[in-house]
Chain A
Amino acid sequence: MVEHQGWQVAATFGNPSEEAARTRESVGLADLSWMSKFNLQGSGMKNAPDLGPDVRVWLLGRREYLVTCEPLVADAAKARLVQIMGVETRLRPPIYVTDVTSVYTQLMVAGPNSREVLSKLTSLNLSEGARGNLSCAQANVAHVHAVVLRNDLPGIPAFHLLVGREYGESLWESVLHAGHESHITPLGLEAQKLLQK
């Protein structure tokens, strides 16, 4: 375990380069619950605001967006939002921001076999045509409501599962079980850094 942007995060489960290699050839599972998340709602939320290149904005419902980013840039993203709210008159109707970082456990399933593993847990169509990179959907995964975000690593398909925090251990177990056949590996922070290259 290491300190990472204010969170205790698993650095590795033994061998970072092997974790990365197995992810590249099959599938890996990482806990990304430390990512910052906040909810934007309000009659002012007619379009997704542009919060900068390191911040992702996902449509959840009518005038409801989920923002995900690294904790390091969260404050900047919030400041940018305040700026937009202040400057752009078309956003004059109110926007409400609620921090939901603690609400979600965020697991990332990455690798060429990630679809195969997830298809054992969800009826959501994960094909390239239905669920391209940077798309967002909501569905049950292992019987638990999840926000499913596709946010690829360089050259590797990656699905992020956001479920209620209290389901974290349970979902982790389910994904490992479903990935047994594909020799799924848990992924530590160091291996994730290798995969980002």
Chain B
Amino acid sequence: MSCPKDKITLEFNGKPVTARPGDTVASALYRSGQRIFTRSFKYHRRRGLLCLAGKCPNCLMNVDGAPNVRTCITLVRAGMRVTHQNASPSLENDWLSVVQHFDRLMPVGWYYKTMTDPRVWHTAEPFVRKIAGLGTPPSPDAVSGNYEHAYRHSDVAIIGGGPAGLKAAISEAENGRQVTLVDDQPELGGHLRYTKIAEAALPELVAKVQTLPNMQVLNGSYCFGLYEGNLLGIVQPRRDPDDAERLIHLRAGRVVVATGAYESPLLFPNNDLVGVMLSTGVLRLIHLHGIIPGKVAVVIGQSPLVEPVVADLREAGLQIAATVAPKSVVRAIGKKYVTRIETRDARHACDLVVMCGHRIPDAGLLHQAGARLEWNAGKGAFIPTDLPAHVSAVGQVTGESLSAAATLPPVLDPASKRAFVCLCSDVSSQDLANAIDEGFDHIETLKRYTTTTMGPCQGRMCQLPAIGVCARQTNHSMAETGVTTGRPPNPGVTLGALAGARHHPTRRTPMHYEHEAAGAAWLDMGEWKRSRYYQSPMGASEKQCVEQEYRAVRERVGLIDVSTLGKLDLKGRDVGRLLDHVYAGRFSDLRPGRTRYGVICDEAGIMLDDGTVSRLADDHFFVTTTTGNLDFVLQWMNWWLVGTNWDVYITNLTSGLAAVNLAGPNAREVLKPLTDCDLSTAAFPYMACRVAQVAGAEAILMRIGFVGETGWEIHFPAESGPDVWKAVMEAGRKFDIKPFGIEAQRLLRLEKRHIIVGVDSDALTNPFEAGMGWVPKLDKEDFIGRSALARLATQPPKQKLACFIMNEADLPEDGAAIMIGGQLAGRVTSARFSPGQGKAIGLAWVPAETAREGAEVQVRVRGRVARARITEKAFYDPDGARLRM
């Protein structure tokens, strides 16, 4: 049937491999003659295909740069580049396989016993990393495709597309529910695809599912977690290299788990040889891919599992050398591949060993959701019980039609150095026995000490055999030994899928592109982009640029974008009442046209935020908050309003208003031609506010001065932002106006001793310590924090925020230690070089008795101790005369 266009060529270790449509990477490689697919984690033993169902670690390879891809469930694609992992130089000849001859040197718990000294670890780590492990992560700069998230909702989610899942999905959809069906195999059908069951009518079931309009099928996608509230995490791998790998958050009203049962290996020495396979893996190769993986087979298994397998293998043309019971197997023999099975009374030559292994209900999702797993000896499995509400199970995952594959716990002593329990990290039954002897005799401690069940297969292959060994060695029953806790993600998820697409929100002020054109050096403040300073075209340093901006404000005039401030519009008859309650100060008596500074404290008297409150009309206030605290203040005010019936309505206008601060001796002259508002001090005094036109936009003007000069904070509609900014800059040209950034603003305010809440204060600061004892109006009957502040007012503070000046220009870092007499006594909160003083200045927390004019302290400046002097007053215009000019 195969004609050239039906052939797909992929690349394995640089060589072309031809595949058929419908092939997985593993089946294509097997058909091309590849038998060894991986080298084991620790001993570098050869490992071949085992489960063919994406459950075991034996076929992990690097596919198109992504490590640890389960090649047995990854469909082939033309041009795919596949490489092997953890073997050098090749899978066939791996020189590291000599490691297994030194296994005595690497007993169980080897890391814990050997790497007790950090120096030993640092020496050994590079070698250990090279010898042990799986794939290598792609290099950080290698772009390895894109990732995205998607959100879905459905009434019912069915996990598993086998017969039980298909039937459940059809029934739910026919009852009018929105159904999502998730299946991890390339095609729907589960075990019907490769076993013969009389009642099965797979094509009809699949066809039906595909015609139902309220059914969404996610095949080739795996569910890695079932979380609270029926949230399912599902990964949809890319289908071609341009696709995104997608993580789907599926919220379902009900979840039906129909994950079926999978097969896990039997325990006997050399059970990991290439050519020893699970029966379902062999049947998958035969029926899904038309590959007969051998000529002469030995089948290990017991009734009733073994008979249908033997019949199926015979029909496929395999010669059955023997059918042996699991308990009679002594060991498998073979150098590169399995060649014989030794039983207690015979040796059987073969080139394939088919294990009819344990049938494990795939109950990981149910276990995560809170179901209990209860041992059932007849079925030889832990069966999920006590399912949580809105989660149900159907099919083999419930234990339906399962039967035991071997006696558990094992009758004979299972301990052997070459009977592998854990294929992921090469843990043998002897290792488990040794660990139990060392005292790790609980299944959970045994898991952590030996790392059994912690590898890529997450216990699928090893959990039941490990419980069996543990039970036998500790003389407990299977039920007493119990299972380890299952947690998501299982199977593993790539970090890229978890991270998803890069949607980092960015907030740009209305004047963003004006700043960009003026050479802004950006500062990220949360999501906001703000100008730290404006770079000079002459290539001046940051310090020089900041100083030029500083001088412009102090000597002439400067303009800063403060659009990031929180801006709240409060309307209603009771706004004054709310503000009196929420702020420590008093606002109900504020006259329209006036602005007042406000501080919000919590009930413990801690300062939370500060800002300005302006009264525009009797029932209309305008409040500003700091950039970072807008959401908090809004939520805080709304919380206090709940259930009060006060007539207060708050609209957040932060996004709708641009704001600038125009400051400097020439600010009035610059603004005058742009506005109809009388700017004279008589008509518009310090701490007044007006609504007026500025450069054609309706604006709120407030005469306030964070930077300590005559100035106006102007708020106006965002869409007028660029026009107003340009108009002000144009009007200021004859005064040599300069835009200034955050750095200059921080320096200017520091000279004025204006604190920044959250920078100079912390989560324990009250207004008395911060030198703002005038803020709380304790004569108000009640407000938030009154009780605590009234008490604090009577207690002398232990520490105070004080200004300091140094004898030099060298700056201490923020947070640097303040020392008195060689003892740690406080810390610096802000420090800048003051061009006005020619020295470093700052704010620091010091003991209250030290917070007096002229006190001497020491400051740590990058490891060195420097001298500083405390000052009580602001460094610049301490009486505020310039603000009132």
Direct contact of A and B (CB under 8 A): yes
List A residues at the B interface (Cβ < 8 Å). Answer: 7, 39, 41-43, 64, 94, 96, 98, 100-104, 119-125, 127, 129-130, 142-144, 164-171, 174, 177-178, 181
Instruction: Among B149, B153, B509, B649, point to the contact of A42 (Cβ < 8 A).
Output: B649
Docked-complex contact B656 and A101, CB < 8 angstroms: yes
Is B538 an interface residue, CB under 8 A from the partner? no
Q: Is the CB–CB distance between B151 and A119 below 8 Å? A: yes
Give every chain A residue within 8 A of B509 (Cβ-Cβ): 166
Q: Once the chains are docked, how many angstroms separate the CA of A10 from the CA of B59? A: 54
Q: Is there an interface contact between B651 and A102, defined as CB atoms closer than 8 Å?
A: no
Do A123 and B249 touch (CB < 8 A)?
Answer: yes
User: Is B178 in contact with chain A by the CB < 8 A criterion?
Assistant: yes
Contact A174 B655 (CB under 8 A): no
Assembled-state Cα–Cα distance A143/B527 (Å): 11
Once A96-B571, A127-B178, A165-B510 are accepted as A-B contacts, the answer to whether A177 and B656 lie under 8 Å apart by CB is no
Q: Which of B138-160 contact A (CB under 8 A)?
A: 148-153
Q: At the interface, yes or no: B501 with Cβ under 8 Å from chain A?
A: yes
Question: Would you call A170 and B651 a contact (CB within 8 A)?
Answer: no
Residues of A within 8 A of B506 (CB): 167, 169-170
- Contacts A102-B657, A119-B152 aside, 18 further interface pairs with beta carbons under 8 A come to A42-B572, A94-B573, A98-B651, A100-B656, A103-B652, A103-B655, A103-B656, A104-B655, A104-B656, A119-B150, A122-B151, A124-B151, A127-B178, A165-B655, A166-B528, A170-B504, A177-B501, A181-B244
Q: Are A169 and B508 in contact (CB under 8 A)?
A: yes
Measured between beta carbons, the chain B residues less than 8 angstroms from A125 are 153, 251
Q: Is B455 an interface residue (CB 8 A)?
A: no
B621 to chain A, nearest CB (A): 12
A127 vs B251: C-alpha distance when bound (angstroms): 13
Residues in B whose Cβ lies below 8 Å from that of A181 = 244
Docked complex: B623-657 residues within 8 A CB-CB of A? 645, 647, 649, 651-657
| Residues of chain B within 8 A of A178, CB atoms compared | 148, 501
Closest A residue to B564 using CB positions:
A166
Selected from B151, B504, B656, the residue in CB contact (under 8 A) with A102 is B656
| CB proximity to A under 8 Å, residues B472-531 | 501, 503-510, 528
Q: What A residues does B736 contact at CB under 8 A?
A: none
The answer, yes or no, to whether B569 is at the interface (CB within 8 Å) is: yes
Distance, CA A19 to CA B148, complexed state (A): 26
Q: A94 vs B645: C-alpha distance in the bound complex, in angstroms?
A: 13
Considering the chains assembled together, what is the distance between the CA atoms of A34 and B654 in angstroms? 18
Please list 19 pairs of residues, one from A and one from B, whose beta carbons are closer than 8 Å in the complex, sorted by A's number: A42-B572, A94-B573, A96-B572, A96-B649, A98-B651, A102-B657, A104-B656, A120-B501, A123-B151, A129-B178, A130-B153, A143-B503, A165-B718, A166-B510, A166-B563, A166-B655, A167-B505, A167-B506, A177-B503
Q: What A residues does B573 contact at CB under 8 A? A: 94
A168 to B656, CA, bound (A): 12
Total count of chain B residues near the partner, CB < 8 A:
38
Interface centre among B150, B510, B573, B654, by most chain A C-beta atoms within 10 angstroms, is B150
Q: How near does chain B come to A182, taking the closest CB pair, in angstroms?
A: 12
B505 & A120 in contact (Cβ 8 Å cutoff)? no
Q: Inside 8 A of B244's CB, which chain A residues have their CB? A: 181
A116, B649: Cα distance in complex, Å: 37
Q: How far is the CA of A41 from the CA of B568 in the complex (A)?
A: 14
| A156–chain B nearest beta-carbon distance, Å | 20
Closest to B646 in A: A43
Residues in A whose Cβ lies below 8 Å from that of B148: 120, 178
- In the complex, what distance in Å separates the CA atom of A143 from the CA atom of B563? 21
Taking a contact as CB atoms closer than 8 A, the residue among A7, A165, A169, A170 that contacts B656 in the complex is A165
- Least CB separation from A175: chain B residue: B503
**B730 in the interface (beta carbon within 8 A):** no
Decide yes or no: A120 and B657 within 8 Å by CB, A41-B649, A165-B718 being known contacts.
no
Q: Name the CB-closest residue of B to A122.
A: B151
Closest 3 interchain pairs by CB? A103-B656, A164-B655, A102-B656
B717 located at the interface, meaning its Cβ lies under 8 Å from any Cβ of chain A in the complex: yes
| Contact A164:B647 (CB < 8 A) given known A100-B656, A120-B149 | no
Chain B residue nearest to A168 (CB atoms) is B508
Majority DSSP secondary structure for residues of A touching B: mixed
The smallest C-beta distance from B242 to any residue of chain A, in angstroms, reads 9
- Taken together as a complex, chains A and B put the C-alpha atoms of A166 and B251 apart, in Å, by 31
Q: How near does chain B come to A97, taking the closest CB pair, in angstroms?
A: 9
Q: Which residues, 697 to 745 on B, are CB-close (under 8 Å) to A?
A: 717-719
Q: How far is the CB of B380 from chain A (nearest CB, A)?
A: 42
Residue of A nearest to B231 (CB): A123
Nearest B residue to A130 via CB reads: B153
Expressed in whole angstroms, the Cα–Cα distance for A171 and B506 within the complex equals 9
Q: Measured between alpha carbons, how far is A135 from B90 in the docked complex, in Å?
A: 62
What's the nearest-Cβ distance from chain B to residue A169, in Å? 6
A43→B649 CA distance, assembly (Å)? 9
Which B residues are CB-close (under 8 A) to A103?
Answer: 652-656, 718
Write the chain A residue with the least CB distance to B507. Answer: A166
CB distance from B610 to the nearest CB of A (A): 22
By a CB distance below 8 angstroms, the chain B residues around A98 are: 569, 571, 651, 653
Q: In chain B between 20 and 36, which residues have their CB closer than 8 angstroms to a CB of chain A?
A: none
Q: B718 touches which one: A43, A102, A130 (CB < 8 A)?
A: A102
A5 to chain B: closest CB distance in Å?
Answer: 13
B507-A167 in contact (CB<8A): yes
On chain B, the residues within 8 Å of A121 by CB distance are 503
Given contacts A120-B150, A125-B153, A127-B178, contact A43 B505 (CB under 8 A): no
Alpha-carbon distance A167/B718, docked complex (angstroms): 13
Which residues of chain A come closer than 8 Å to B717, judged between CB atoms?
Answer: 102
B135 to chain A, nearest CB (A): 28
Q: Complex formed: what's the CA distance from A178 to B151 in Å? A: 13
Bound-state CA distance A178–B653 (Å) is 29
Min distance, Cβ A147 to any Cβ of chain B, angstroms: 12
Nearest chain B CB to A110 CB, angstrom units: 19
A164-B507 contact in complex given A120-B150, A181-B244, C-beta closer than 8 Å = yes
For A119, A124, A129, the residue with the greatest tally of chain B CB atoms inside 10 Å of its CB is: A119
Taking CB atoms, residues of chain A closer than 8 Å to B651 are 39, 41, 98, 100
Q: What is the minimal beta-carbon distance from B845 to any residue of chain A, in angstroms?
A: 35
Please tell me which one of the listed residues A94, A101, A124, A170 contacts residue B505 in the complex, with CB atoms under 8 A apart.
Answer: A170
Nearest to B652 among chain A residues (CB) is A103
Bound Cα distance A84, B876 (Å) = 56
Residues of A within 8 A of B719 (CB): 7, 102
Question: Distance in Å from the Cβ of B307 to the closest Cβ of chain A?
Answer: 49
A167 to B505 CA separation, bound complex (whole angstroms): 7
Question: Which of chain B's residues 145-188 have a Cβ closer than 8 Å to chain A?
Answer: 148-153, 178
Complex contact A94–B572 (CB within 8 A):
yes
CB A150 to nearest CB in B, in angstroms, measures 16
A residues near B718, Cβ cutoff 8 Å: 102-103, 165-166
Which residues from chain B contact A122 at a C-beta distance below 8 Å?
A: 151
> Do B501 and A94 touch across chains, with their CB atoms under 8 A apart?
no
Q: When chains A and B are docked, how far (Å) is the Cα of A142 from the Cα of B244?
A: 17
CA distance A7 to B720 in the complex (A): 11
Contacts of B656 in A (CB 8 A): 100-104, 165
- A142 — which chain B residues lie within 8 A by C-beta? 503, 505
Contact of A127 (CB < 8 Å), options: B153, B249, B654: B153
CA distance A177 to B244 in the complex (A): 11
Residues of A within 8 A of B153 (CB): 125, 127, 130
Q: What CA separation (Å) do A102 and B652 show in the bound complex?
A: 11
Are A170's CB and B507's CB within 8 A?
yes
Bound state CA distance, A122 and B149, in angstroms?
9
Question: For chain B residues 550-592, which have a beta carbon within 8 Å of chain A?
Answer: 563, 569, 571-573
Nearest B residue to A103 via CB reads: B656
Q: Contacts of A143 on B, CB cut-off 8 Å? A: 503-505
Bound-complex Cα distance A94 to B387 (A)? 54
Interchain nearest-CB distance for B409 vs A (Å)? 47
Enumerate chain A residues within 8 angstroms of B251, measured Cβ to Cβ. 123, 125
**Which of A142, A164, A166 neighbours the largest number of chain B CB atoms within 10 Å of its CB?**
A166
Q: Taking the nearest CB of chain B, how far is it from the CB of A33, in angstroms? A: 8
Inter-chain CA distance A127–B244, complex, in Å, is: 23
Instruction: Kindly report which residue of chain A lies nearest to residue B655, judged by CB atoms.
Output: A164
The answer to whether residues A144 and B508 also contact, given A100-B653, A120-B149 and a CB cut-off of 8 A, is no
